[in-house]
Amino acid sequence: MGMSFMVLVVTVSWFWSISTTCVLAAKQAYISPQQENQKLRFDQNGEFKILQVADMHYANGKNTLCLDVLPSQNISCSDLNTTAFIQRMILAEKPNLIVFTGDNIFGYDSSDSAKSMDAAFAPAVASNIPWVAVLGNHDQEGSLSREGVMKHIVGMKNTLSKLNPPEVRIIDGFGNYNLEVGGVQGTEFENKSVLNLYFLDSGDYSKVPTIPGYDWIKPSQQLWFKRTSAELRKVYIKGLVPQKEAAPGLAYFHIPLPEYANFDSSNFTGVKIEQDGNNGISSASVNSGFFTTLVEAGDVKAVFTGHDHINDFCGKLMDIQLCYAGGFGYHAYGKAGWSRRARVVVASLEKTDKGSWGGVKSIKSWKRLDDQQLTGIDGEVLWSKSFRENNGANQIGGN
């Protein structure tokens, strides 16, 4: 009895001292959501532009040769061509954020993973534009583990990448995080996240002996996504200028979802040249339900992946666009004569009644080819705010 009382007293005082310390530490380290939001926001023209770079497959620079280019292009073609392409894309598009969707380095051919990453991301770092990366299935094949690769990325200059969400104790993979994009400074939306970006680790290969093939997005990651999405929705529909719907979201990861196989040339924009996998889509051989989770959450309007270098389409299924960027890197397999490419996404804000900038009105996308003119192709509207949302329920009628 005395013993257990002692334990109780000790436990209670231990708990008290811990919680007091936590409160103090939390106060000192407290960063307001506004400060966090201000890292990314729409510019004064009411636009936010994202450049997606998929599958650089970077190794050792000038000694790493190109794959699948025309014989006439093969002379002095190396990783440095990948570097030159990023530099040209950044100059041409001046994006607000650069997203690298995995297989950033090709581990097998890299002599030092950290050096390969430093070289691969160098143009983004030098541009002073915020950039982020997620992992593919080849990033960990060199001198660093997946955790090691992601830690290295997180420590690099100008990146907003995170190792994992700090509020979650256990989550599969490395590099699951979200970013909020604030409305235009000086408007009522300046402290609201009007566009939400989700980044996930789609893994590498199945660790389950009875399931062959690529990895998938796990329940732990989906739970984190669901909670984050619900929290962001709650905040967006409350406070100053309360909104009816959640702010639109975009999700970026490496391996396409099995649902990418639901399209053909009659209902996608772009091409599908891949032959392998399920109908040309190299997703996991099982479906872990992330697409269903996205449809349920309702805020994500488009998903962007890489992995299949010679697929570059977007197709819409249940109001969600499923998009590839198309292969970017010259040390990645491709198709000779089919240009390396990158995807650009621009979100545009609507004007409010007061003539100020409001929430997101539309999300458009196009790709650019690595030819002399950086030719733009396949421009399309991925999503636009519906008539119904703009005008309220009283406008619904007719048949």
Ligand X SMILES: *[C@@H]1O[C@H](CO)[C@@H](O)[C@H](O)[C@H]1NC(C)=O
Q: What is the binding site for ligand X (CB under 6 A)?
A: 34, 65, 69, 71, 73-74, 76-77, 81, 188, 190-191, 240, 262-264, 266-267, 315, 317
- Which contiguous run of DSSP H or E holds residue 351? strand 341-351
In the complex, the smallest distance separating the C-beta of residue 189 from ligand X, rounded to whole angstroms, is 8
In the complex, the smallest distance separating the C-beta of residue 72 from ligand X, rounded to whole angstroms, is 8
For ligand X, the closer of residues 170 and 240 by Cβ is: 240
For ligand X, the closer of residues 65 and 346 by Cβ is: 65
Q: Amino acid identity, residue 71?
A: P
For ligand X, the closer of residues 146 and 301 by Cβ is: 301
Angle (CA) 326-330-332 rounded to 5° is 65
- The stretches of 164-264 forming alpha helices (DSSP H) are 219-236
For ligand X, the closer of residues 254 and 316 by Cβ is: 316
263 Cβ partners below 8 Å, 6+ apart?
A: 272, 313, 315, 317, 322
Q: Which of 390, 353, 358 lies closest to 244, judged by CA?
A: 390
In the complex, the smallest distance separating the C-beta of residue 388 from ligand X, rounded to whole angstroms, is 22
For ligand X, the closer of residues 36 and 264 by Cβ is: 264
Q: Which of 33, 4, 177 lies closest to 99, judged by CA?
A: 177
Angle (CA) 86-91-94 rounded to 5° is 100
In the complex, the smallest distance separating the C-beta of residue 316 from ligand X, rounded to whole angstroms, is 7
Residue 352 to residue 361: CA distance in whole angstroms:
11
For ligand X, the closer of residues 70 and 208 by Cβ is: 70
Q: Which of 387, 363, 366 lies closest to 196, judged by CA?
A: 363
In the complex, the smallest distance separating the C-beta of residue 382 from ligand X, rounded to whole angstroms, is 15
In the complex, the smallest distance separating the C-beta of residue 81 from ligand X, rounded to whole angstroms, is 4
Structure tokens that stand for 23 in this block: 């409160």
